[in-house]
Structure 1
């Protein structure tokens, strides 16, 4: 599904991503893990075209995204939920969701019904401004906005950050439904181990810009947690 090969990135003199080779398997939920500052969000920014890598390649299926701008990548089939949500606070919930409609290949002009079925609160509050929603509701809006694109791959950067426990539970249920019932491929950046174990099939651990471990969730053992994930 998503293939990243020999990816390198620099910030000035600082080498931030080192020869990354990562494969995100189609139909699976893969969790990208690591302590703060190891390069996870930098990697996602490279995937989305927000940062141009120094070398290497990024492919979605057979399509090479490496040299494409963020705008050119938008129709390729990646839905992105950035860290901090980044909704438009002065637009209504409905207007936030409508932003993705022009990118859909089927040119549908209405918000798909299943978005409101997944997130009933968004339908209830569709005429309220995004900035008036709680943090958990804004996170649901950010996920809904990404799904409006009808993506092949959904990327979520720390979706549980700053979210109340009951909404974290709901978001976990929705990720499982999207992945297991609908078959959407998911790349999840997450720090909370119980959430990871509940939602994901595979894991990748990064440390200091390098991939240091990967495998199925049954291989995410206490030694790896202590060495690379414990603060």
Structure 2
């Protein structure tokens, strides 16, 4: 506790005012970073949404993956596209971190570095969308997943933090969003905002295709889902 809240060190009395000031400072820092990345990546988000919308129109599926906290983020982004709630179009999406039996089998029988690459090779197809989530941009299994997705001809989208690590250095993603922070908490918060804005832009792109096109989009999505059933 004292690492994140130095004033709460053992033996030190912590006042309510200190807790309130600390929480307010963290909230302000998070908001400032979110606004900063939205301003920086505005045109890139629009371009990425256009590529993703085109992929969905052609019957593509989104496949998301990451480790640790980014694993739960992968599940969240897949759920967002798959069941967007009222007013959003349902789109085919899969989280590669949701099947614990498959993950542990690949990790145990082959190697943990390939847990995403093997799934992408088996489930992914040309024109699908691979969304890689990382705070460091350096996780070996995430990088191998992006490499496998690129070989398969998928649209690749990467989220990283700090300097972007190897994900940025090796230009592994067609669309890359690097949050300029070294704090894992702030990175993940800003990435969440970027992903939700990206989802809204994709929905906007698809909504502008017209009723006839929309019907074929849904048919393509249904076919994509049945192909993987």
Please, what TM-score do these two structures have when normalized by structure 1? 0.36
* Structure with greater helix share of residues: 2
Give the TM-score normalised by structure 2: 0.36
- Structure with more strand by fraction: 1
Larger RCO, structures 1/2 (Cα 8 Å, 6+ apart): 1
Structure label with greater radius of gyration = 2
